[in-house]
Structures are given as C-alpha cells and as structure tokens.
Chains A and B, each alone.
Chain A
C-alpha cells in the first residue's frame, strides 16, 4: 500500500498530537479541525490566486496586459490591494431592505460552497468525509446554494436584485436536473456513490471521460450554468441588471459572494477531475501533484469559456436545458445501461 504526500503529512501531525495529548478522542477532533483548516485555506488561497489569474487570462485573450502596477511588472500584489480595498469599504445598507434576510444571504452562501469540499479526494485517502452516499450528498448540499441567492435578491429592495434572484432560481434549478441525470452514468459504472470508489474504479478501468463522453459534455455545460459563469451568467450580467442579487451589497459582504463564486469554480473543476479525469491517479508524479495539474487545466478551460463565448438569452438557456440536455442525459443513461449489460453478458 502506498500513501500519498497528504496522508503521510496527516500521519506526522497525528503522531505529534498523540504525543502531546495522548487522549484519542481529543486527537480525533483535533485532526478533523486540521482537515477543515486545510480545506478552508485551500478555498481562500484559490480565491486570491483566481482573482489574479482570471484577470491575466482575460487580458491575454483580449490582447491586453492586465494588472501591471501593484507589486512589480506582473502586478502580483493586485489581490492584496483588492482585499484591502474591500475591507475598508463602507458597508452600505439599502433603505427599506429586509435587514435579517439581507445580511444572512452572503453568510449562508458560503456554507454549501465550503461543505462540498469535504467529499473531494485530494489525494490517496485525503478526504474529510468519505461517506458511502458521497456523490448524492454532494449534489444535495450544492443545490442549497439557490436559497441564499433568492434571499439576497428578494431582501435587497431593488428591482435589479429581484430579477437577478428569480433568474438564479430558474437557471440553477433547470440545470441541476440534467446534471444529476448525467452523473448517474458514472454511478452505474462504479456501482458506488463513494468518491474514493469512483476514483479507484477509474484507476482499474479507464478514465470515465472515455466511457461517458456524452455525460462529460453535459456535465461541463451544466457546471458552467450552476456556477453562473458566461455563457450562462444571466444572473449577474452587468450590462442588463448591474450585478443581479449582489447589486445592493458592498465591501466585505460583496466579497463573501465573490469568495463563494470562486470556491464554486474550484469545486466544479475538482469534481470534473474526480468524476471524469481519474482523480489523483497518474504515472511517476505523486498523486497530489497530478490532482492539482488536472484541476488547473479544468480551471483554465472554464476561464476560457468565460472569455470566448457570448451570453445567451434566458429563454434560449432554459429551453436548451429542458429540451436538449435533459433528453440527452436520459438517452446517455439508457446507453450506459445497455452497454454495461452487454459487457457483463459477453465477458
């Protein structure tokens, strides 16, 4: 049995803690806190890196230079400057808003986006909650992100926010159905909803992107829509409804929406890697390195989408989900079923 880098490090921390405290229950709780701390630091680091990376990628795609003033020629300190700016901005509370619902919305949005990270296998065995309903629970938790958007849109006392909130609900609900149906193919091939089992199945057979190409394409499209990124960013399209549900938020509260958005971008990239691209498995290099290489490629792909596709219209977008993607996902499920049955009866 070979252990990954992350699990070896966790083992060392556990040894130190056992030496210091001795009590096994206490060490277990502390190790959970270490795991949670690691996940939250991954989310925060990704938000810092992505604000910079997205601007640079955008700039290069539009033949511009991008941030180049703060922190040397490459503008490396731009995220720090952004952070300081957001921290020191005045927190403007709009007139006539529903105070409690309005202030709860950005806080609650962070919860589902962070919680789904506990199901991601970052390396061999490095997974916070490897439960046997993993993928299903992940979908259930991530769909809770609809509610904070609706709360923010409703409570802001602004027409733009209201329209944005309603669009969020329609869009995220419509694209969740094909996403759930497309991932059924992966579960059928694996015979388990456990995330570690899905990665193991891809190591023994082959990457699921080869066995489930239709599901992969459907997943990419629905994931882009679920995270409200272009071409499906009707929720916050700046040229129509200013910023959608975030219109009336400023300063740190707005930053929390932004943090959740980048946490979602990272989580869909990780999910694509885990479900379709073989997770942390790969030759020569250690598992954690392979994992992050694949994830970074996926993040670049999603940024590429954002800066090359034009925005769709809401009626086109909703009918595309229900009339094209959902039937396609059902057909994919039937094909997978027939395929598995033929494979089993022939071999």
Chain B
C-alpha cells in the first residue's frame, strides 16, 4: 500500500523521505520570514528594544538565575526517559514472550517504583 507514494528499496526507503522533510522543515520558516522582511517598516529606536516589563524599566540583570527545582525535575526526567527506551522494545515483544515477560515486567516496574519512591521521600518531587 505504501508502494505508490514511495517505492521501497529503490531509493532510500521511509527514512529518506523523513530526511527530505527535515531539510524542507528547516527551510520553510525562512521562506515565511522573507515576505515579512520585505513588507515590514523599520524604525528601530532605543526605547523599542527595552525588555518588556509592563512599562516599567527593568531593575538589575535580566539574565536571572533560575531555581534549582527545575534542575531536579530534569534529572528525574532523564532517569525515567531512559526507562522508556528499554520498555518500548520489551512492549513490542510482550505478546510472544509469555510468562517470562510478565514476571520480568514486575521486576522492572518494581525497581522503577522504588526509584520513584526514593525521589518522592527525598523531596525531589515537591516544589519548595
């Protein structure tokens, strides 16, 4: 059914189409910006470029330091995102593997739940 749009094995297969799309998706926003670039007025003044803070001048540095809480969430996320990399191939073969896969799942999810529980108890999940 795929054959008519893109014949497999002759060119680059499905990933070839994806690669071409990636290149076009990179170029497309530039193409959208060109007509706007030709149409728009340009009268830059110093006041226009001031960082917007509801009409009040900014106080101090604008590159402020961010809260450490965001970093903690990112760390936990990395752990769980890597778990999904392992779980997806397992989920594909689940139907064929039978009881072995089922028991394996309880062990894996058990370890995962322990990690989550540890992070929870350590207070990494709550916003302080």
Contact = CB atoms under 8 A, between A and B. Distances in A.
A193 B88 contact: yes
A306 B81 CA distance: 28
A10 B119 CA distance: 52
A160 B126 contact: no
A327 interface: yes
Interface stretch (A25-33, A65-73, A208-216, A224-232): A25-33
Contacts of B73: 170, 173-174, 318, 322
Per DSSP, chain A at the interface is helix
Which of B5, B54, B76, B77 has its CB near the most chain A CB atoms (within 10 A)?
B5
A196 B5 CA distance: 15
A95 B46 contact: yes
A344 B92 contact: no
A7 B95 CA distance: 32
A154 B70 CA distance: 14
Which of B6, B42, B120 has its CB near the most chain A CB atoms (within 10 A)?
B6
A176 B53 contact: no
Interface in B23-65: 24-26, 28-30, 32-33, 35-37, 39-44, 46, 48-54, 58, 62-64
A314 B63 CA distance: 21
Chain B contact-residue range equals: 35 or more
Interface residues of A, number: 95
Interface in B74-98: 74, 76-77, 80-81, 84, 87-88, 91-96, 98
A42 interface: no
B120 A32 contact: no
Contacts of A129: 14-15, 17-18, 21
Which of A32, A34, A39, A256 has its CB near the most chain B CB atoms (within 10 A)?
A32
Given A193-B92, A327-B113, A333-B109, 15 more contacts: A35-B6, A40-B24, A88-B40, A95-B50, A96-B62, A106-B29, A114-B28, A128-B21, A158-B52, A160-B52, A187-B92, A188-B94, A252-B33, A256-B32, A340-B94
Interface of B: 1-2, 4-7, 10-11, 14-18, 20-22, 24-26, 28-30, 32-33, 35-37, 39-44, 46, 48-54, 58, 62-64, 66-67, 69-70, 73-74, 76-77, 80-81, 84, 87-88, 91-96, 98-99, 101-102, 105-106, 109, 112-113, 116, 119-120, 125-127
